[in-house]
Amino acid sequence: MELYIHIPFCERKCAYCDFLSMPATLQIQRAYVEKLIDEIIGESGGVRAYEVTSIFIGGGTPSILPGEYILGILQAAGDYFDIRKDAEVTIEINPGTLDEHKLECYREAGINRISLGLQSADDWELKVLGRIHTYDDFLKSYQQVRLAGFSNVNVDLMSALPGQTLSSWEKTLKKVTMLRPEHISAYSLIIEEGTPFYERYGTGEKAFPPLPDEDTEREMYHMTKTILEEHGYHRYEISNYARKGFDCRHNTGYWTGVDYLGLGIGAASCISGFRFKKEGNLNTYLEMASRKDFPSCIYQDIQKLSVREQMEEFMFLGLRLTEGVSGAEFHQRFGQNMWNIYGNVIEDMKQQGLLRVEYPIVALTEKGTDLSNYVMSHFLLD
């Protein structure tokens, strides 16, 4: 089982962000952490049979919290959950929110993987995104992380930004590869409803600076793969690249159907075929945390996944991985032959050049990766 711990606080909401995050006073942060620890303790009783293989502290901006708060959260997790000795433990960090004391606390807490949110090495692009940091701030944070002894570092990047060109994206990729992080996540910007970007770009009105067109966005994606592979990074998932031995175990768990428990407001969980999420309103969460039936009282949208739905997820999540999905594993999980269920779809996608089949493995081709949403939509069962 994997644990996801949500820290919803940030210094300022970015213009593209639709995550559950918000600025908050230190007093509110302290109150949240206290209740989050209570939730950790309360949840542990129902999952004693599970061994925790990875922990991911995300947000928001977890590094906005005092280091002692992160230490307390992970000490509680260690006290009440069965955490494997070699578990991967990640924390998301934004440049401009880090100091040496926090890094000392992270080391003491058992964190062994750092994920730095750069997004772009171009200060103008960062400003358009609403980020609080500059590229120099990122470099300082990266150096601090390395000097603190962390040897597993991810850098988050984002392409198809407003005003971004192929040239500026290439410069970002080359600047980051020169630093030799162990892992690079490179996602395309998605304009989400409810964000300032949606108001500017999602309504169809002309906006400035303009977004790259579809062809340019696709060129950026291929450029990413080419440049990163030249620098020793293999693509193991549609948007994720790693040096040998540094694939993110936590995210790979999501794509391969490992059970996960979400802790904190808005956090999603999927355990033993049941999916649910936690209360997403901070004030309501803090109020309900005083109830005797906490944390079960904050469960929302509880859903028992049917076998059909589990099969669908196995296919369209597993196909995100470059190694694809295995018919042998499909049979082991569901007791059915994958080709009896999906044979016609697999053959059709293969004929279109979108899937490659190396029995019992089925995986996306390069063309299939370009059209991944189209391919995966065909694996939804009627």
The confidence score (pLDDT) of residue 211 equals: 87
**Do 238 and 330 fall within a single domain?**
no
Quick one: which H or E segment has residue 331? helix 327-334
Per-residue pLDDT band for 14 (boundaries 50, 70, 90) equals low
**Do 313 and 251 fall within a single domain?**
no
> Looking at the DSSP assignment, which residues form a beta bridge with residue 93?
116
Q: Map residue 23 onto helix, strand or coil.
A: coil
Number of domains present in the structure of the chain: 2
Token pair belonging to 329: 């594993």
Specify whether the CB–CB gap between 151 and 114 falls below 8 A: no
**Do 223 and 329 fall within a single domain?**
no
Q: How far apart are the C-alpha atoms of 88 and 152, rounded to whole Å?
A: 10
The confidence score (pLDDT) of residue 26 equals: 94
Residue 275 resides in a domain: no
- Which one of 224, 255, 286 terminates a domain? 255
Quick one: which H or E segment has residue 156? strand 153-159
On the question of pLDDT at 204 being above 60, the answer is no
**What's the mean pLDDT when you consider all of the chain?**
93
Q: Map residue 240 onto helix, strand or coil.
A: strand
Of 60 and 173, the structure prediction assigns the larger pLDDT to 173
User: Tens digit of pLDDT for each residue in 150-175?
Assistant: 999 999 999 999 999 999 999 999 99
On the question of pLDDT at 189 being above 90, the answer is no
* Per-residue exposure over 332-345, b if at least 16 CB sit within 10 Å of its own CB, e if not: eeeeeebbebbeeb
- Which one of 191, 224, 255 terminates a domain? 255
Q: How far apart are the C-alpha atoms of 284 and 299, rounded to whole Å?
A: 12
In the predicted model, what is the mean pLDDT of residues 218-235?
A: 97
Residue 299 resides in a domain: no
> Looking at the DSSP assignment, which residues form a beta bridge with residue 157?
119, 186
Residue 201 resides in a domain: yes
On the question of pLDDT at 205 being above 60, the answer is no
On the question of pLDDT at 15 being above 70, the answer is no
In the predicted model, what is the mean pLDDT of residues 56-71?
A: 96
In 234-354, at which residue ranges do the beta strands (DSSP E only) sit? 234-237, 240-242, 260-263, 268-271, 274-278, 299-304, 325-326
Task: Please give the order of strands across the beta sheet that includes 325-326.
Answer: 325-326, 361-364, 355-358
* Per-residue exposure over 219-228, b if at least 16 CB sit within 10 Å of its own CB, e if not: ebbebbbebb
**Do 349 and 234 fall within a single domain?**
no
The confidence score (pLDDT) of residue 381 equals: 86
User: Tens digit of pLDDT for each residue in 348-380?
Assistant: 999 999 999 999 999 999 999 999 999 999 999
**Do 220 and 367 fall within a single domain?**
no
* Bridging pattern class, strands 260-263 and 2-7: parallel
In the predicted model, what is the mean pLDDT of residues 272-283?
A: 95
233: alpha, beta or left? (left if phi > 0; alpha if psi -120 to 50): beta
Residue 273 resides in a domain: no
Q: How far apart are the C-alpha atoms of 259 and 2, rounded to whole Å?
A: 6
Torsion, Cα of 162, 170, 220, 120 (10° steps): -40
Residue 163 resides in a domain: yes
Specify whether the CB–CB gap between 271 and 47 falls below 8 A: yes
Domain of 336?
A: 307-377
Angle at the Cα of 32 from the Cα atoms of 31 and 36, rounded to 5 degrees:
120
On the question of pLDDT at 302 being above 90, the answer is yes
Specify whether the CB–CB gap between 46 and 32 falls below 8 A: no
Residue 53 resides in a domain: yes
Q: How far apart are the C-alpha atoms of 324 and 151, rounded to whole Å?
A: 28
Specify whether the CB–CB gap between 65 and 32 falls below 8 A: no
**Do 18 and 145 fall within a single domain?**
yes
**Do 350 and 246 fall within a single domain?**
no
User: Tens digit of pLDDT for each residue in 68-124?
Assistant: 999 999 999 999 999 999 999 999 999 989 999 999 999 999 999 999 999 999 999
- Which one of 223, 239, 255 terminates a domain? 255
**Do 358 and 243 fall within a single domain?**
no
Residue 21 resides in a domain: yes
Q: How far apart are the C-alpha atoms of 6 and 9, rounded to whole Å?
A: 9
CATH number for 191? 3.80.30.20
**Do 211 and 319 fall within a single domain?**
no
Lowest mean pLDDT among 184-193, 214-223, 261-270, 302-311: 184-193
On the question of pLDDT at 382 being above 80, the answer is no
**Do 19 and 149 fall within a single domain?**
yes
Q: How far apart are the C-alpha atoms of 133 and 127, rounded to whole Å?
A: 8
Residue 370 resides in a domain: yes
